Amino acid sequence: MNSKAQPRVVIVGAGFGGLNAALTLAKAPVRVTLMDRKNHHTFQPLLYQVATAGLSPGEIAAPIRAIVGKRKNIEVLMAEVTGFDLEHRVVQSVELSVSYDYLIVAAGARHSYFGHPEWEPYAPGLKTIEDATEIRRRILLAFELAEKQAAAGRGQEPLNFIVVGGGPTGVELAGTLAEISRHALKHEFRSIDPSRAHILLLEGGPRILPAYPEDLSRSAQKQLEHLGVEVRTSSLVTKLEPGAVDINSQRINASVVLWAAGVAASPLGKQLGVQVDRAGRVPVQPDLSLPGHPDVFVIGDLAALNDEHGDMLPGVAPVAIQQGEFAAKLIREEVSAQARAQSYSRPAFHYWDKGSLATIGRNAGVAQFGKWHVSGYLAWLMWLFVHIFFLIGFENRVLVFIQWAWSYITYERGARLITGSTELPGWSGLRHEPPIEAEERAASEIHAVTRKIG
Amino acid sequence: MNSKAQPRVVIVGAGFGGLNAALTLAKAPVRVTLMDRKNHHTFQPLLYQVATAGLSPGEIAAPIRAIVGKRKNIEVLMAEVTGFDLEHRVVQSVELSVSYDYLIVAAGARHSYFGHPEWEPYAPGLKTIEDATEIRRRILLAFELAEKQAAAGRGQEPLNFIVVGGGPTGVELAGTLAEISRHALKHEFRSIDPSRAHILLLEGGPRILPAYPEDLSRSAQKQLEHLGVEVRTSSLVTKLEPGAVDINSQRINASVVLWAAGVAASPLGKQLGVQVDRAGRVPVQPDLSLPGHPDVFVIGDLAALNDEHGDMLPGVAPVAIQQGEFAAKLIREEVSAQARAQSYSRPAFHYWDKGSLATIGRNAGVAQFGKWHVSGYLAWLMWLFVHIFFLIGFENRVLVFIQWAWSYITYERGARLITGSTELPGWSGLRHEPPIEAEERAASEIHAVTRKIG
Calculate the CA dihedral of residues B56, B57, B63, B69 and round it to 10 degrees. 30
C-beta atoms surrounding A205 within 10 Å? 15
A230 and chain B: CB distance < 8 Å anywhere?
no
**Who contacts B309 (Cβ-Cβ below 8 Å, separation ≥6)?**
none
Reduce the DSSP state of residue B42 to 3 states and report it. strand
Cβ distance B417 to A58 less than 8 Å, yes or no, reads: yes
Cβ distance A420 to B130 less than 8 Å, yes or no, reads: yes
Give the pLDDT mean for A170-199.
Answer: 93
pLDDT at A171 over 90: yes
| Type of residue found at A380 | W
Reduce the DSSP state of residue A193 to 3 states and report it. coil
User: Phi, psi (5° rounding) for residue A272?
Assistant: -95, 5
Cβ contact B86:B92 at 8 Å: no
Amino acid A394: pLDDT: 59
pLDDT digits 0-9 by tens, B37-72: 999 999 999 999 999 998 889 888 989 999 998 899
CB < 8 Å to A419, chain B: 57, 129-130, 133
Amino acid A376: pLDDT: 94
C-beta atoms surrounding A341 within 10 Å? 6
User: Phi, psi (5° rounding) for residue A78?
Assistant: -85, 100
* CA atoms within a 13 Å half-sphere pointing along the CA-CB vector of A15: 30
| Type of residue found at B114 | F
The secondary structure of chain A in percent helix, strand, coil, rounded to multiples of 5, reads 35, 25, 40
pLDDT at B437 over 50: no
Cβ distance B65 to A189 less than 8 Å, yes or no, reads: yes
Cβ distance A63 to B151 less than 8 Å, yes or no, reads: no
| Type of residue found at A279 | A
Rounded to whole angstroms, how far apart are CA atoms B441 and A99? 9
Q: Which of A88, A141, A451 sits opposite B5 (nearest CB)?
A: A451
Q: Map A311-324 to HEC letters.
A: CECCCCHHHHHHHH
**Who contacts A37 (Cβ-Cβ below 8 Å, separation ≥6)?**
A78, A79, A80, A81, B422
Name the residue of chain B whose CA is nearest to A66's CA: B188
Name the residue of chain A whose CA is nearest to B129's CA: A419
Rounded to whole angstroms, how far apart are CA atoms B430 and B99? 56
Amino acid A408: pLDDT: 79
| Type of residue found at B309 | H
Higher pLDDT, A39 or B1: A39
Q: Within its chain, how far is the Cα of B383 from the centroid?
A: 16
Chain B interface test: which of A73, A81, A95 (most B C-beta within 10 Å)? A95
pLDDT at B435 over 60: no
Residue A67, burial from CB neighbour count under 10 angstroms (0-12, 13-18, 19+) = buried
C-beta atoms surrounding A114 within 10 Å? 12
pLDDT at A3 over 90: no
Reduce the DSSP state of residue A204 to 3 states and report it. coil
Cβ distance B438 to A79 less than 8 Å, yes or no, reads: no
Share of chain A above pLDDT 90, in %: 73
Name the residue of chain B whose CA is nearest to A396's CA: B414
| Distance between start and end Cα atoms, chain A | 90
Amino acid B392: pLDDT: 67
Q: Which of B56, B141, B453 sits opposite A101 (nearest CB)?
A: B453
Mean pLDDT, all residues of chain B: 89
Pairing status of strand B8-12 against strand B31-36:
parallel
B66 and chain A: CB distance < 8 Å anywhere?
yes
Name the residue of chain B whose CA is nearest to A407's CA: B395
Q: Which of A40, A96, A431 sits opposite B430 (nearest CB)?
A: A96
A414 and chain B: CB distance < 8 Å anywhere?
yes
Cβ distance A144 to B4 less than 8 Å, yes or no, reads: no
Mean pLDDT, all residues of chain A: 89
Rounded to whole angstroms, how far apart are CA atoms A53 and A139? 9
pLDDT digits 0-9 by tens, B123-168: 999 999 999 999 999 999 999 999 999 998 888 878 999 999 999 9
Residues 114-133 of B with CB under 8 A from A: 129-130, 133
Pairing status of strand A40-42 against strand A61-63:
antiparallel
pLDDT at A138 over 80: yes
pLDDT digits 0-9 by tens, B263-315: 899 999 999 999 999 999 999 999 999 999 999 999 999 999 999 889 999 99
Reduce the DSSP state of residue A369 to 3 states and report it. strand
Rounded to whole angstroms, how far apart are CA atoms B248 and B322? 40
- A172 annotated active-site: yes
Element containing residue A171 per DSSP (H, E)? helix A168-179
Rounded to whole angstroms, how far apart are CA atoms A277 and B67? 51
**Who contacts B165 (Cβ-Cβ below 8 Å, separation ≥6)?**
B202, B203, B204, B259, B260, B261, B262
B253 and chain A: CB distance < 8 Å anywhere?
no
Cβ contact B201:B166 at 8 Å: yes
pLDDT digits 0-9 by tens, B197-218: 999 999 999 999 999 999 999 9
Q: Within its chain, how far is the Cα of A300 from the centroid?
A: 14
Q: How confident is the model at residue A442 (pLDDT cuts 50, 70, 90)?
A: very low
Cβ distance B77 to A151 less than 8 Å, yes or no, reads: yes
Amino acid A454: pLDDT: 28
Residue among B201, B151, B124 at smallest CA distance from B425: B124
Concatenate the DSSP letters of all residues of A105-116 into one string.
E---EEE--TT-
Shortest CA gap B214–chain A (Å): 39
> Can you list the alpha helix ranges (DSSP code H) found in B180-239?
214-227
Cβ distance B151 to A4 less than 8 Å, yes or no, reads: no
* CA atoms within a 13 Å half-sphere pointing along the CA-CB vector of A115: 4
Which candidate in A59, A147, A157, A172 is catalytic? A172
Query: Between the CA of residue A135 and those of A50, A381, B63, B311, what are the distances in Å?
Result: 9, 26, 17, 48
Which candidate in B134, B172, B203, B325 is catalytic? B172
Cβ distance B70 to A187 less than 8 Å, yes or no, reads: yes
Element containing residue B303 per DSSP (H, E)? strand B303-304
Q: Which of A40, A147, A435 sits opposite B97 (nearest CB)?
A: A435
pLDDT at B2 over 50: no
Partners of B111 in the beta sheet? B263
Cβ distance B447 to A7 less than 8 Å, yes or no, reads: no
C-beta atoms surrounding A286 within 10 Å? 12
**Who contacts B113 (Cβ-Cβ below 8 Å, separation ≥6)?**
B119, B120, B123, B259, B261, B262
> Can you list the alpha helix ranges (DSSP code H) found in B101-196?
129-149, 168-179
* CA atoms within a 13 Å half-sphere pointing along the CA-CB vector of A141: 23
Q: Within its chain, how far is the Cα of A375 from the centroid?
A: 23
Rounded to whole angstroms, how far apart are CA atoms B19 and B323? 11
Residues 83-102 of B with CB under 8 A from A: 88, 90, 92-99, 101-102
pTM for this entry: 0.90
Cβ distance A396 to B414 less than 8 Å, yes or no, reads: yes
Query: Between the CA of residue A408 and those of A363, A364, A381, B2, B217, what are the distances in Å?
Result: 10, 13, 12, 38, 47
**Who contacts A169 (Cβ-Cβ below 8 Å, separation ≥6)?**
A48, A126, A260
Residues 297-356 of A with CB under 8 A from B: 334-335, 338
Q: Within its chain, how far is the Cα of B262 from the centroid?
A: 12
CB < 8 Å to B334, chain A: 454
Give the pLDDT mean for B402-431.
Answer: 74
Amino acid B449: pLDDT: 31
User: Phi, psi (5° rounding) for residue A364?
Assistant: -130, 135
| Cα torsion B430, B432, B435, B439: sign | negative
Rounded to whole angstroms, how far apart are CA atoms B162 and B149? 21
Query: Between the CA of residue A454 and those of A328, B9, B336, B341, what are the distances in Å?
Result: 79, 14, 11, 10
Reduce the DSSP state of residue B154 to 3 states and report it. helix
A5 and chain B: CB distance < 8 Å anywhere?
yes
A68 and chain B: CB distance < 8 Å anywhere?
yes
pLDDT digits 0-9 by tens, A382-420: 988 888 887 766 566 777 777 777 777 777 777 888 887
